[in-house]
Amino acid sequence: MAKYINPFTDVGFKRIFGQELSKPLLLDFLNSLFEGEKHIVNLTFLDKEQPALFEEDRSLIYDIYCETDEGEKIIVEMQNKSQPFFKNRSIYYVSESIARQGERGSSWNYEIDSVYLVAFLNFSPLDFKKQFRTDVVLAEKDTKEQFSDKLRMIYLQLPLFKKEAEECENQVERWIYLLKNMETLNRLPWAAQSAVFKKLESIADVSAMTRAERLQYDEALKKYRDTISVFEGVRMEGRMEGRMEGRMEGRMEGREEGQKEEKIANARKMKTYGLALEMISDITGLTIDEVRDL
């Protein structure tokens, strides 16, 4: 039996990042993520009763109104969703947060607060670069100069973070290590030296849950594991099938072509599961016509 909760279940994520009691944890995590750029001094949870593509999305997305030490106002969206259409969903919710700031009337001058997305990915999408942190901003295509500071999206691919505890060099790396490995740990490193991680240790302790909370957590954990299992199963089978097809057909001529074969193999496997063409296209990066013709 694990001592600490899995922070990427809906229950675990809410306990650590989505309640008033956990504000000091969230504040510390965000400031470590933006270290050297911004320093948040206050944060407030915004009303989550807002339109969503799917009903369950709101349970794993937290809108946080932040104020920096320079008086800047930032809306931070914390997302924890491992599912098809992830990139499009995240863009949708960032756009939604911007649009909600609109005011009716001709006198409004389109003054909006910046919106930042912080998204945890428990898998590595095929249409993402193979790097732990992907930081997306609005920039001019040729000069790469920032066009606007009103939108920023940070994606953290947990499987690509490989450091052990003794290798972590800063606070954000310590945070990521704990979040990624929490469910397998018997004690939290750095808890004895850090008040923040000591608080995290108490909040994440499974034995501190009430019976009702534990039942809810067990159900959330099962759902999380089932979701991850489906994704990993499809991807692993797709990789094997793609390699075999590549060898048989003699088309594995370099890395780029190998990645194409992997996408095709994944798409074929997903079709056997009965997934919609649009969903398969979004996951693999293939066009709908390419998927249809497989």
At 49, is the pLDDT very low, low, confident or very high (cuts 50, 70, 90)? very low
Q: With contact defined as beta carbons under 8 Å apart, do 178 and 200 qualify? A: yes
What is the phi/psi pair of residue 197, to 5°? -75, -25
User: Which comes out higher in pLDDT, residue 69 or 128?
Assistant: 69
What pLDDT does residue 251 have?
Answer: 47
What pLDDT does residue 231 have?
Answer: 57
pLDDT tens digits, one per residue of 217-250: 888 888 877 766 655 555 555 555 555 555 555 5
Q: With contact defined as beta carbons under 8 Å apart, do 41 and 70 qualify? A: no
Copy the structure tokens of residue 204.
Answer: 């994440």
User: Which comes out higher in pLDDT, residue 135 or 108?
Assistant: 135
Average pLDDT in the chain: 82
What pLDDT does residue 19 have?
Answer: 86
User: Which comes out higher in pLDDT, residue 61 or 147?
Assistant: 147
Alpha carbon 21 to its chain centroid, in Å, reads: 22
pLDDT tens digits, one per residue of 178-232: 999 998 999 999 999 999 999 999 999 999 999 999 998 888 888 877 766 655 5
Range in 13-22, 41-50, 173-182, 251-260 with the lowest mean pLDDT = 251-260
Q: With contact defined as beta carbons under 8 Å apart, do 154 and 119 qualify? A: yes
At 53, is the pLDDT very low, low, confident or very high (cuts 50, 70, 90)? very low
Distance CA 127, CA 129 (A): 7
Q: Give the pLDDT mean for 102-123.
A: 85
> Residue 30 is which amino acid?
L
Q: Which residue is it, tokens 């995590």?
A: 29
Q: What share of the chain is helix, strand, coil (3-state, %, to 5)?
A: 50, 15, 35
Q: By percentage, how much of the chain surpasses pLDDT 90?
A: 41
What pLDDT does residue 255 have?
Answer: 61
Q: Is 104 helix (H, G, I), strand (E, B) or coil?
A: coil
Range in 28-37, 120-129, 184-193 with the lowest mean pLDDT = 120-129
> Residue 273 is which amino acid?
Y
Copy the structure tokens of residue 217.
Answer: 């957590």
Helix residue ranges, H only, the chain: 10-17, 23-33, 86-99, 171-181, 195-204, 211-249, 255-272, 277-284, 288-293
At 47, is the pLDDT very low, low, confident or very high (cuts 50, 70, 90)? low
